[in-house]
Amino acid sequence: MSLALLEALLIRGKGGYSMSDYFEDVPVGQYARESVTCEYVCNLTFSEESFDLVISQDVIEHVSDPDKAFRNIDKILKPNSVHIFTVPHTLSMGKKCDKGNAYSKWH
């Protein structure tokens, strides 16, 4: 099952669903547009242990401190919950890994 399909099922399913993105011109924690809040993964405004599932698609590779991002996501997850994330896998990123940057920890 693709993450887009899973996301669509969650939106139509029962229970709460929160969607966020980062917008440079919107304060973190504020609505950027209908039903989409502005969040920065290294400074999340959600309450601790408030999510059963977090999905981040092609986000972590844009963050300067992936360790902090993962710690913040872990804080908002309830115990025994799941974070599903994707990162691109390309040859150019592989070359970056060889140079020892942040990708090497998560790639």
Closest CA to 42 of 60, 54, 24: 60
Joined together, the tokens standing for residue 10 give 């969650």
Whole-number CA gyration radius for the chain: 15
Q: Structure pTM?
A: 0.69
The whole-number pLDDT of residue 99 equals 37
pLDDT tens, residue by residue, 52-67: 889 898 899 888 899 9
pLDDT digits (tens, 9 = 90+) for 14-41: 557 788 888 999 999 999 887 788 999 9
DSSP state of 48: T
Task: Measure the CA–CA gap between 75 and 48, rounded to whole angstroms.
Answer: 5
